[in-house]
Chains A and B, each alone.
Chain A
Amino acid sequence: MPLPHVPYAPSKAAIAGHTIHRLLASFPVACFTLALATDIAYWRTSNLMWLEFSAWLLLAGITVGVAAALFGAIYFLVRFGIRAVRFGWPAALGTLVVLILAFFNNLAHAVDGWTAVMPWGLTLSALTVLAMLVTLWLGASFAYGPALGVRNHV
């Protein structure tokens, strides 16, 4: 028996929540991308200033990134229920991979000098950015996919 159609009720809380999530999630995107850039700068110049930049960018990225992931998880569970979780989980998994890579990258960048970046720091920075691109692509493809925006439909 088909369920009765319930019209989507826009709520200000939802808009606010979505805005906060987008805002938080933009930090790791910018920080991890810039950390790759500063790692490359250190690799090319041996100037330790770039290593210091990388270390702070990675710390800022993972701190706000974890906050964004927790906020996102709770918000989307509460707001959209189990359906959103079903369709959102590749992106969620991608986020987890990004954060795990960033965690190890933070540790790698705590080494004193060249071996903080060469070869593992730079490799992890590149993998983090790659994983981030894949995650964003997955998220975008679901947003424009056929399943989203169709509610209460069996």
Chain B
Amino acid sequence: MSDRFRLQRASALTGTCLLALALAGCTDSDTGFDISSQIGPDPVLPEPSTELMPDLKVAEVVGWKDGQTPKVPQGLTVTLYAKDLVSPRMVRTLPNGDVLVVQSRAPEGKPLPRPKDVIRQWVMAMAKGDTGGPQKESNLITLLRDTNRDGTVDERHDLLKGLNSPFGVVWHEGTLYVAAADAILAYPYRLGETAIAAAPKMLAPLPGGPINHHWTKDLALSPDGRFLYASVGSNSNAAERGLEAEKGRAAIWQVDRATGMSRLYASGLRNPNGLTFHPETGVLWTVVNERDELGPNLVPDYLTSVQENGFYGWPWSYFGNHVDERVHPPRPEMVQKAIKPDYALSSHVAALGLTFSMNASLPEQYRRGAFIGQHGSWNRNAFNGYNVVYVPFENGRPAGKAQEVVTGFLEGDQARGRPVGVTIDGTGALLIADDAGNAVWRVAASGPVPPSQ
């Protein structure tokens, strides 16, 4: 009987200890961390934390009321460029000044192999305000035309509809290239036209479904016009769907525009977006979303130049050769090979859009750098991102701290909007696609600015 009693007491004690452990796991231990220490070329990287319950905090989307706008610092002014769009993710300015807005939703039918996938999908859908009711039609490309260059849209035409989750778009020599979720499509299109009736040719297939976890495929045109570059995000957070699912993914592809011949240009980039060539150096740059569930301050998303045949670590390591223990079996030779990216943007900001300021007609301090659209965090208790930042450049390299330029997307724990793609319009102002706010915002100098040198 006394044996039994001891056993009971031991088990009661075990239960209590486990409960205490659970409570300890729930406290927020990151409060002392300075997130600005993760902005720049040498971010502070804490030890990975194994949380029992990973942080999951998504801002509920409430949208913009009439008259509400994001906030910009002194010297800039922000106006509503276009509204009533349906999940606009990408903005691109054509050579004639017309602006294309790519609107899209994630492809449906992704298999959910584990209970956590099912639960998380449900939580994320709730946060997006997706109640399962009928949705407005998305997956289209809309043309916005500012005829008199006064910074307001005078004409609006839906150019293409019924696309397969499009994201990147590039125009060159009478052809509009659209990166859908599984292929690069080429449409014959002359500048100024307001409709496309012709069927597309498929220039090249891209890794697509059925998983297509990071499905946004961005596009860039090489300075000589010969190649397209297409970004393909990974099919998982840290290869937890197996390496077979990652063939050709977490990579940037080079596609010959004439023949469609494709090859891997760079790899180990978990979720690259915002492909842009630097206007002076001709070097390809991208922003990359790094992995989740290693703690609130791991892993910083980053901005980097892309080296030909470069390998940037995913999934085996992050920010150079910091090993991710979740990926098994380990591959030390791959970790050894991993290139350290150029510039960290801090953790979980979800950098998705990138444009160089191209000597735009903005105040002097914004003329030689990069604007980055940061969609905002979910995997940390204190929000990060939900803004557009500016990284100053000198001699084709980042030089100095990123500054917040466009804010006000968050209001407490609610999101009015979430920035994605950015571009410079025909008047030299900055445009921002806001997918949660269903709008495009225009940020311009508030007074006359001296002409560019």
Task: Give me the interface of A with B, judged by CB distance under 8 Å.
Answer: 46, 48, 51-52, 55-56, 59, 89-90, 93-94, 96-97, 100-101, 104, 106-108, 110-116, 118, 120, 131, 134, 138
Contacts and interface: CB of A to CB of B under 8 A. Distances in A.
B429 to A, nearest CB: 41
B223 to A, nearest CB: 38
Interface size class, chain B: 20 to 34
B114 A90 contact: no
Given A52-B114, A97-B15, A114 B326 contact: yes
Pairs of residues from A and B, 3 with the lowest C-beta to C-beta distance, nearest first = A113-B326, A114-B328, A112-B240
A110 B114 contact: yes
Contacts of B240: 48, 51, 112-113
Nearest to B292: A112
B115 A55 contact: yes
Nearest to B239: A113
Interface string B102-130: 00000000000111100000000000000
Name the residue in B4, B115, B236 with the highest tally of chain A Cβ atoms < 10 Å from its Cβ: B115
Contacts of B113: 52
Given A52-B113, A55-B115, A112 B236 contact: yes
B11 A94 contact: yes
A107 B328 contact: no
What does DSSP make chain B's interface, helix, strand, loop or mixed?
loop
B238 interface: yes
8 contacts: A97-B11, A97-B15, A100-B18, A101-B18, A112-B236, A115-B326, A131-B11, A138-B4
Name the residue in A52, A101, A111, A112 with the highest tally of chain B Cβ atoms < 10 Å from its Cβ: A112
Given A104-B22, A107-B52, A108-B52, A114 B4 contact: no
A97 B54 CA distance: 23
Nearest to A54: B114
B198 interface: no
A148 to B, nearest CB: 14
B210 interface: no
B258 interface: no
Interface in B299-358: 325-329
What does DSSP make chain A's interface, helix, strand, loop or mixed?
helix
Contacts of A97: 11, 14-15
A116 B328 CA distance: 11
A93 B326 contact: no
Contacts of A115: 50, 325-326
Name the residue in B53, B114, B236, B326 with the highest tally of chain A Cβ atoms < 10 Å from its Cβ: B114
B199 interface: no
Contacts of A52: 113-114
A94 B115 CA distance: 26
Contacts of B238: 112-113
A82 B416 CA distance: 57
A115 B50 CA distance: 9
Contacts of A56: 114-115
B7 interface: yes
A35 to B, nearest CB: 12
Contact of A93 (B11, B18, B114, B325): B11
Name the residue in B21, B50, B53 with the highest tally of chain A Cβ atoms < 10 Å from its Cβ: B50
B55 to A, nearest CB: 13
A48 B53 contact: no
A142 B115 CA distance: 37
A75 to B, nearest CB: 22
A12 to B, nearest CB: 34
Nearest to B48: A115
Contact of B116 (A48, A55, A100, A118): A55
A90 B52 contact: no
A115 B330 CA distance: 12
Contacts of B327: 113-114
B237 A112 contact: yes
A110 B114 CA distance: 8
Contacts of A116: 326
Nearest to B21: A104
Nearest to A43: B328
B241 A48 contact: yes
A48 B242 contact: yes
B111 to A, nearest CB: 11
B60 interface: no
Given A48-B242, A59-B115, A138-B7, 11 more contacts: A48-B240, A55-B116, A56-B114, A96-B15, A100-B19, A101-B18, A108-B52, A110-B114, A112-B237, A113-B238, A114-B327
Name the residue in A51, A52, A110, A118 with the highest tally of chain B Cβ atoms < 10 Å from its Cβ: A110
